[in-house]
Structure 1
Amino acid sequence: MGEAASDKPYEDLDAEEQVEAIMSDEGGAAIIDFWSPTCGPCMAMANDFTAVAGQFDSDEVRFCKVNTATHGFLAAPFRIQSVPTILFVLDGEVVDAVVGRMDAKRLGSRAEWLLNKKRRRSKGLLGRLFG
């Protein structure tokens, strides 16, 4: 990875091991954008995705992108049929999916929702019931 890649607030996923880590029981909260460079809505959403990703600590919510044109094999297990498709994952479970472009406000709201869900889950049963 070059220096420019480390400046991005998201991870480009290009290996099965990376996806498997996110989809593990200890994978935490992640938002995965399945996109293609030939997709107009994907390209229109790219700046919003980057801006929202920059607002979150990657230890809290990981933002990831999968280029389906070059890494379609990573999209196949999720049965991605249209791009953009954004998956919201918590500890290996897809808890929500959105097909189509999301603006920054909507994406930010869903990221907050996922983070809150993660925080409630980490409190255990009593924390979820009474927290």
Structure 2
Amino acid sequence: MTRCRTGLPAAPVRAPPPCLVGAQSSDLVHEGVRGRQHGREGALADPVRIELVRELADSQDWTRACGSFDVPVGKAALSHHFGVLPPAGLVEQRDMGSKRVNRLRREEFDARFPGLLALVTRPECAPAGDLRREG
């Protein structure tokens, strides 16, 4: 078993979702905020982020607050996942009162990478296993 520097077992490396296997990374890179490059494959490589994008795709713009998503991670991890999506160009956020609401940047993303969001939101691209919290 591989161990990380802390001596704890290392987290298993997840394979990319089947819908992204074979995608060319050069086709999936977007010039992000402050000139940094954020790879789409990195933003969409995590099953939780895929689920966030899928739920946003089924929602009206600006109706979903960050805490309204049913994913099996805590607040800190959810904040991290939402920190990855906007710089990658997938999600736009705005503050409304005490909540931060989101919209999926469908038009912008599809203009730059036609068909990728449609591919990610297809049922067969759903993350393996049920990510929803139990009970």
| Same fold? TM cut 0.5 | no
Larger fraction in helix? 1
Bigger-Rg structure (1/2) = 2
TM-score normalised by the chain length of structure 2: 0.28
TM-score normalised by the chain length of structure 1: 0.28
Structure scoring higher RCO (CA < 8 A, sep ≥ 6) equals 1
